[in-house]
Amino acid sequence: MTRTRLMRIEQVALLLLILLYMIVANAHGRLAPLTTGPDELAHYEYVNFIAEHGRLPLNSAERSQAAYKSDQPPLYHLITALPASLVDINGPPHLKRYSDHERRPLIEQTRHAWGLHNTEDEYPPYRGEVLRWHIGRWVSIMFGAASIIVTYLIARGVPFLPIEIGPSVPRQTLERIVLALGAAAVIAFIPRFALTGSMLNYETMLAFFAALFLWQLLRISVAEAKNQSFTTPNPQPAPSNLQSPISNLQPPVPHYQLPITNLLLLGLFTGLAITTKLSALILPFEAVVALALIARHYGWPWTRWLRAVAITAAATLVAVSWWFGFIIYQFNTVADDGWWAGLLRPLIAADASDATTNRLLSFLTGGQAGFTAAIDNLESGPPWEWLATMYRTFWVVGIEGHQPLGLVGLLIALALCLIAVFGLIRLWASAISGQRSAVSGQPSAPNLQPPIINYQLSNINYQLLILALASAFILPLIRYAATFSLADTAQGRHILFLAAPAFAILLVWGFTAATRQLSMINYRLSIKIGLPLVPAAFLFFWSLAQLYTMSWAYLPPLPVRTILLPTKLAHPINQSMNDAVTLLGYETRLDFEHQVVQADIYWQATAVSPVDYLTEIKLLDEEGNERSQWLGYPASGRYPTRAWDPGDVIRDTAWLPVGNLEPGDYSLQLNLLPTTTDNPLIGLTIPPVDEPRELGQITLPSIDPFVSNHRLSLTDSALAMVGYAVRQDGVPLTQPATFRYRESIIVTYNTTTPDEVIDLKIVGPDSAGQPLFDPVRRWDNTALFIVGPDWSTGDYRLRLAGDKSPITSEPLFNVIDHWERSFTEPPLTYRLEANFANQVKLLGYDLATRRVQAGGGLPVTMYWQGLDWMGQSYTIFTRLLAADGSAHGGRDRLPREGYRTLYWAPGEIVTDPFGVPVDPDAPDGIYYLNLGLYREADQQAVSLPLVQDGQPIDATSVTIGPIKIGDTPPDFVLPSADPQIVVDQPFGDPTALTLLGYDLTAGSDQLSAVSHQPSMEENQPSNQPSNQLTNQATLQFSNSPNSITLKLYWQSEAPLPTDYTTFVHLRNAAGETVAQKDQPPLEGAYPTSLWDPGEIIADEVTIPLPEELPSGEYSLVVGLYDLTTGLRLPVPDTADNSLRLTTIEVAH
């Protein structure tokens, strides 16, 4: 085989490999929905900003517009923006980003995408933003192909000495070609490289520059090996030489020049890699260590090593200076943080989203900048879990929870790696042995180059390749040690794209050497040559398996377009259904196999809809009888009407079961049903829908009865059988499937006893208490269900009931509930039941504390309940009001800091904890928290009115509290007590209050009051009076007064958790209550739960008396009780927890 023919074979083989990679990578890019790649939307927004503005972001606001990757090195984004800027994105199609408006989260999220809903606009031919996105993917694929070529060149040029195939030059050349192809193909077909490398991100560009970096390191080693001064032994090494395994070689000739060009390129590629992705910051360290290994191996003087490092460093600094200079100049915070922290902050912390860099910044600035706390959303894990995750994500990435080849693929890859390690150990030993033999002068096998050159090159090349692979682990290990985060650090792509050539070459070298040295196998020559391709062949199969998984694992995009339909409809209509929806037309087809009529309805949104609509389609026979129907949310519930954008074209597919219908002509009738009604309290008027639309006729041929793939027996008789089928998208399920929120479920059934009435329900999961769900529509032998907001995640069964007890099937399907709503009321500390405009009810609240300081925050938890489907977001306002009505704190906010009322379902209970800020200058006092909700109308805030007994009232807010801010106001407490009558009676067990004493006076013209406490006779017999204060004198009134006034002097001994109400009873000799008054201390201005130990409070209570109070002796009794529960605060040594203060004698 001639050298020319070998060159042609090599060129053709490499070209075919690149073409095959391009096909595989483009297939991945075509099948993967937008945002499949890591941080792909953020990369797109960065590219999009540069393409639109022709420059990088210049301030924080522009960085926010360009997304969170805009603080990262921009080389990939700048290059990608050049072709992307040629695409006009001013018109449709438009991407549906989560952040575009508040209604986007209503769309059902059905894949692990970040920030984008995929639609049919992503189908070819690509246009607008979709085309710009795919240009970014094509740029990534081109750099992936370039990385493969560089890997081939590295593997082709690195000396390699396995067991020789033969002594001829052509065979050794062919062997090197196959080894190089095998290494390049390993990179091309690692499933992770094929998928992630075909997405819009900087990974393949990093791989390209890292490969060029490694290539230059190896070329420097080769250049040094070609220096003739290294080929003759030197038994007495010079002291100035660096020690090495071949230090007995003659030192370099002094005038021998360094490979300056290679060193400059080494620094250039280091800088370009760093300006592509910051994980390349490890390359300067790798370069210094690699040059030290080369120096030690070839016996350089240390000054020569320093010159090599200096040249590389200078080239690196020049290559990165444009980027770091730009961010230091544009984003420094010197004015705020000083020179040191102000220059480091934009270089290290950037947007402050990375825990590791912020800890480094905090360390370098002495805590002035950065932070040391962990980020809450990072999932942590032990080291073995980190290693397992790193290994898995190096090879493959999950496809919507499915992993191609599963564990088998990972185990085969592990076996290949272990075989390669064995082979590399043998190769290393062979190289060391051969080197020693060559240096000692022992004869060795003939070769194309002097033996010493081959062996020493093999030795140093192994070291450089292992260094390149090991260096890629350093930064992830440091970040893991700093955060213990799995999601943030255990990402195998950080290793793969930085060290791909080194890994691939070592894998192929080791695998080839190990398999050739198995003496029990006598390989044919052709097999020996092809062994390096075995790992690549397996990886190619793995990538094909990944493509197959992608072809079915991703849910189809939303049946929505922002551009006109590509083809003309079979039945165009173009009629307005209401102010927000226009019917463009429809198409129908009969599915004989599944016994359904599929109707595709095409809607166009003309305005934002405040309500969701259900699509209702009925199939009527010639007499107008309903024979089949469909009811469901548009697009199988994935794209509800409230989420529609004006201009959207929606394909809404319905499936009408027709298995039991007679042949003949039928007509289709279409209607839209709103899910809520008008509400004048919020200005909601639902656009009226015209009469049901008659779509046209269809003719049904003779169709077989419904197919039933499940059977249940309702009685002991074999004849009483029910065959049924659960249908998804019209197709009977043959195995459990997944349904999602708002999706319609059709159950068709046949029974052998036609006269028997079948009660059919769906049974929820065991974890939710097996709730039962009735069909929303039922006709003939068909029932239709819609997955509601209260269908929790889990397995669902069918329950059938005839004349006998109900029976339940095995699990037939499962439901995935991404919303995870709650419909169970939690325990409430304080109940309110405040209805705001029949939209939201405030059930109650919790106050963790009712004592805060000025400048602090008041922790509050509200419990809301949705009363209807809401078409807009309501904002909660809170105002901390003093006694004079002035506000000293509060804020406006969304429920749960972002869970808008727009997303709530009727009956859903939302637990809403938050903090109310208190103004720093808020004076000490007792405050109340006033809160309510408002909507925006014509850029004005309109409060929601409260509703009582079905009618709105003037109030628009509720008040909770009281809350103490700071110290107790002096108006509420006394420095000391000087009562007329001293009591010193403790209250509470243990003692919480002490009644120091009281004053008693008579008054007139007082109103009567009703006590919330039962009277004496309801608690104890009259012959068992309460505690007697025998040392108190009897008070006498010559005439019956209209009232008596009692001033009680309380002293707080310990904090009370409850607000108590004071009751005062006047009882006759028989123990009957003849007069009473209940009121909270200080008429509620200073409740007992806010009293501080040691405080003295004087509470005046006026007890109205009957007009004709008979003469006689009366007992004055006092106590405290909880208004909510009726329980009294204990009074020691009393039967009914009340205290008799004195006896009053009335004489006329």
Residue 708 and residue 725 in contact, taking contact as beta carbons nearer than 8 Å: yes
Positions of CATH 2.60.40.2550 in the chain: 559-705, 970-1146
Judged against a pLDDT cut of 80, whether residue 252 lies above it is answered with no
Is the domain spanning 710-819 CATH 2.40.160.20? The answer is no
Cis-peptide, bond into residue 895, ω within 30° of zero: no
In the predicted model, what is the mean pLDDT of residues 1070-1082? 93
In the predicted model, what is the mean pLDDT of residues 480-485? 82
- The Cα 614–Cα 640 span in angstroms is 9
Q: Whose structure tokens read 């929790």?
A: 792
pLDDT band at 253; cut points 50, 70, 90: very low
Distance of CA 644 to the CA centre of its chain: 23
**pLDDT (tens digit, 9 = 90+) per residue, 547-567?**
999 999 998 999 999 988 878
Q: What pLDDT, on a 0 to 100 scale, did the predictor assign at position 855?
A: 94
Q: Which residue has the higher pLDDT, 458 or 154?
A: 154
Q: What angle do CA 606, 611, 612 make, to 5 degrees?
A: 90
Q: What pLDDT, on a 0 to 100 scale, did the predictor assign at position 1023?
A: 35
Q: What pLDDT, on a 0 to 100 scale, did the predictor assign at position 1010?
A: 40
pLDDT band at 1017; cut points 50, 70, 90: very low
Residue 306 and residue 242 in contact, taking contact as beta carbons nearer than 8 Å: no
Q: For 125-151, b where at least 16 C-beta lie within 10 A, e where not — what string?
A: ebbbbbbbbbbbbbbbbbbbbbbbbbb
Query: Nearest CA to 238 among 150, 302, 165?
Result: 302
599 has which bridge partners?
588, 654
The residue count for the chain: 1148
Q: Which residue has the higher pLDDT, 240 or 797?
A: 797
Structure tokens, 891:
């804020």
Residue 498 and residue 472 in contact, taking contact as beta carbons nearer than 8 Å: yes
The helix (H) or strand (E) run that includes residue 875 is strand 875-881
Residue 1080 and residue 1119 in contact, taking contact as beta carbons nearer than 8 Å: no
Query: Nearest CA to 292 among 282, 302, 283?
Result: 302
**pLDDT (tens digit, 9 = 90+) per residue, 507-542?**
998 998 888 766 445 555 556 678 889 999 999 999
Structure tokens, 738:
């997944």
615 has which bridge partners?
632, 672
In the predicted model, what is the mean pLDDT of residues 52-71? 92
- The Cα 318–Cα 325 span in angstroms is 11
Q: What pLDDT, on a 0 to 100 scale, did the predictor assign at position 445?
A: 46
pLDDT band at 481; cut points 50, 70, 90: confident
In the predicted model, what is the mean pLDDT of residues 994-1020? 61
pLDDT band at 1005; cut points 50, 70, 90: very low
Q: How far is CA 914 from CA 863, 880, 929, in A?
A: 11, 14, 13
In the predicted model, what is the mean pLDDT of residues 91-104? 90
**pLDDT (tens digit, 9 = 90+) per residue, 1077-1114?**
999 999 988 999 999 999 999 999 999 988 888 888 99
Q: Determine phi and psi for 211, rounding to 5 degrees.
A: -65, -45
Judged against a pLDDT cut of 70, whether residue 874 lies above it is answered with yes
The lowest-confidence range among 152-166, 182-196, 485-499, 792-806 is 152-166
- The Cα 934–Cα 53 span in angstroms is 39
Query: Nearest CA to 783 among 816, 742, 750, 823?
Result: 750
Query: Nearest CA to 263 among 314, 298, 229?
Result: 314
Judged against a pLDDT cut of 60, whether residue 1031 lies above it is answered with no
Q: Which residue has the higher pLDDT, 134 or 807?
A: 134
Q: What pLDDT, on a 0 to 100 scale, did the predictor assign at position 515?
A: 83
Instruction: Sort strands 851-852 and 958-965 into parallel, antiparallel or unpaired.
Output: parallel
- Going by the DSSP 8-state scheme, the letter that residue 972 receives in this structure is G
Q: What pLDDT, on a 0 to 100 scale, did the predictor assign at position 758?
A: 77
At position 430, the amino acid (one-letter code) is S
Q: What pLDDT, on a 0 to 100 scale, did the predictor assign at position 456?
A: 56
- The Cα 144–Cα 192 span in angstroms is 12
Average model confidence (pLDDT) across the chain: 86
- The Cα 1064–Cα 1101 span in angstroms is 8
Q: Whose structure tokens read 């009604």?
A: 677
Judged against a pLDDT cut of 70, whether residue 585 lies above it is answered with yes
**pLDDT (tens digit, 9 = 90+) per residue, 185-237?**
999 999 999 999 999 999 999 999 999 999 999 999 988 877 655 443 333 33
In the predicted model, what is the mean pLDDT of residues 391-399? 94
Percent of the chain residues topping a pLDDT of 90: 63
Percent of the chain residues topping a pLDDT of 70: 84
Question: Is the backbone of residue 65 left (phi > 0), alpha (psi -120 to 50) or beta?
Answer: alpha
The lowest-confidence range among 26-30, 204-208, 455-459, 724-728 is 455-459
The helix (H) or strand (E) run that includes residue 323 is helix 302-331
CB atoms within 10 A of CB 743: 21
Positions of CATH 2.60.40.1930 in the chain: 710-819
Burial class (CB in 10 A: 0-12, 13-18, 19+), 481: exposed
Q: What is the CA radius of gyration of the chain?
A: 41
The lowest-confidence range among 344-353, 855-864, 1040-1049 is 344-353
Indicate the SS3 state at residue 40: helix
pLDDT band at 80; cut points 50, 70, 90: very high
Distance of CA 508 to the CA centre of its chain: 40
Judged against a pLDDT cut of 60, whether residue 240 lies above it is answered with no
Judged against a pLDDT cut of 60, whether residue 290 lies above it is answered with yes
What's 830-965's CATH class? mainly beta
- The Cα 985–Cα 1003 span in angstroms is 26
- Counting Cα atoms < 13 Å in the Cβ hemisphere of 58 gives 3
Judged against a pLDDT cut of 50, whether residue 1036 lies above it is answered with yes
Cis-peptide, bond into residue 962, ω within 30° of zero: yes
pLDDT band at 442; cut points 50, 70, 90: low
Q: What pLDDT, on a 0 to 100 scale, did the predictor assign at position 845?
A: 96
Positions of CATH 2.60.40.770 in the chain: 830-965
Query: Nearest CA to 677 among 669, 686, 668?
Result: 686
Residue 453 and residue 223 in contact, taking contact as beta carbons nearer than 8 Å: no
pLDDT band at 435; cut points 50, 70, 90: low
- The Cα 140–Cα 32 span in angstroms is 14
Query: Nearest CA to 796 among 856, 870, 726?
Result: 726
In the predicted model, what is the mean pLDDT of residues 160-168? 51
**pLDDT (tens digit, 9 = 90+) per residue, 44-57?**
999 999 999 999 99
pLDDT band at 1012; cut points 50, 70, 90: very low
Architecture of domain 970-1146: Sandwich (2.60)
Q: Which residue has the higher pLDDT, 804 or 677?
A: 677
Q: Determine phi and psi for 411, rounding to 5 degrees.
A: -70, -40
- The Cα 377–Cα 506 span in angstroms is 37
Residue 798 and residue 724 in contact, taking contact as beta carbons nearer than 8 Å: yes
pLDDT band at 375; cut points 50, 70, 90: low
Architecture of domain 559-705: Sandwich (2.60)
Handedness of CA 935, 936, 938, 942 (dihedral sign): positive
**pTM, full prediction:** 0.84
In the predicted model, what is the mean pLDDT of residues 694-703? 90
- The Cα 1018–Cα 1012 span in angstroms is 13
Q: Which residue has the higher pLDDT, 689 or 998?
A: 998
**pLDDT (tens digit, 9 = 90+) per residue, 611-635?**
999 999 999 999 989 999 999 999 9
Identify which of 14-28, 112-126, 348-362, 715-729 has the greatest average pLDDT.
14-28
Residue 614 and residue 637 in contact, taking contact as beta carbons nearer than 8 Å: no
